[in-house]
Amino acid sequence: MRGPLDQLSLYLFAAFALFLAGTIKGVVGLGLPTTSIALLTLAVDIRVAIALAILPMLVSNAWQVHRAGELRRSVRTYWPFVAALMLALAATVASTVNASDAAVMGALGAVLLLYVATSVSGWRPAIPAAADRPVQLGAGALSGVMGGLVGVWAPPMALYLAARGTQKDEFVRATGLILFCGSIPLLIGYVRAGFLEGALIWFSIALLVPTFAGFALGERLRGRLSERGFRAALMVFFALVGLNLIRRALF
C-alpha cells in the first residue's frame, strides 16, 4: 500500500477507480483494465493493482460476451487471436513472476503511451484476407506478452480490429470475447504466483459492485456523449498516467 490509506479509504478509492473504469467500458466497449490498473497504481503496488482488477475484468467481459450474443460466430472468427493470446499470456506471467515493480510500472507506462499513439495517429494497416490468420496469431501473441506483464493488452487488439474494419457491434463482441479469454490465464497465473490470494480475492470480488454500476451508467451515457470528445479526453488521461508511471519507474 502506498501512503497512509487505511482499508476503508483504500476500498473507497478502489471503488471509485473501478466505477470510472466501468463507466468508460460502458461508453466505448473497452478500457476497464487500462483505466483501473492505471488509477490503482496511485495507491497500491503494481502487482496488487493488477490483482484487484482481474475479477472485475473477467466478470464484466463475461457479461459483455453474454449481452453481445453470437458467441459461436465470434469464436470461429477470432479463435487464432484468442489461442495465441492465452498461450503467450500464461507463459509471460510464469516467466516474469520475479520482475521488479519498477520494470512492470515502466512497461505499463510504455503500453499506455503506445495505446495513445496508435489511437491518435489513426494509422490502420490494411490486412489482406489471406493474411488474416497469421496477423491474428502475431497480434494475439503480442497482446499476450503485454497482458502477462502488465495486465493490459488493448493496443494490439484494438489496432487489429480497426485494421480489419470491424463495425461497432462486432467490435463490442470481439473485445468482450478477447478480454474475457485473456483474463482466464491471467487469473490462474496470479493465483499460482501468490499475487491474488486471501483478502485480495474478497477485495476484488467486492469491486464487482462499483464496476457494474459504472458499466450500467456508461451504457446509458453512450448515446448522449460525443464519443470523439470522450475518447480524446481519455487519451489525454492515459498519456499523463503513462508518463507518470515511466517517471516513477526511472526515479
> In angstroms, rounded to a whole number, what is the distance separating the alpha carbons of residues 158 and 71?
19
For the entire predicted model, the pTM comes to: 0.86
pLDDT value at residue 38: 86
Mean per-residue pLDDT pooled into runs of 10, the chain (251 residues): 65 94 85 88 90 94 85 92 97 92 89 84 79 94 92 86 82 89 95 90 94 91 74 81 87 81
pLDDT value at residue 3: 47
- Long-range (24+ apart) CB contacts under 8 A made by 30-33 are 30/154, 30/158, 30/175, 30/179, 31/154, 31/234, 32/56, 32/57, 32/60, 32/61, 32/179, 32/211, 33/57, 33/151, 33/152, 33/154, 33/179
- C-alpha distances (whole Å) from 203 to each of 25, 93, 112, 125, 228 are 21, 21, 25, 41, 34
- Determine the residue type at 164: R
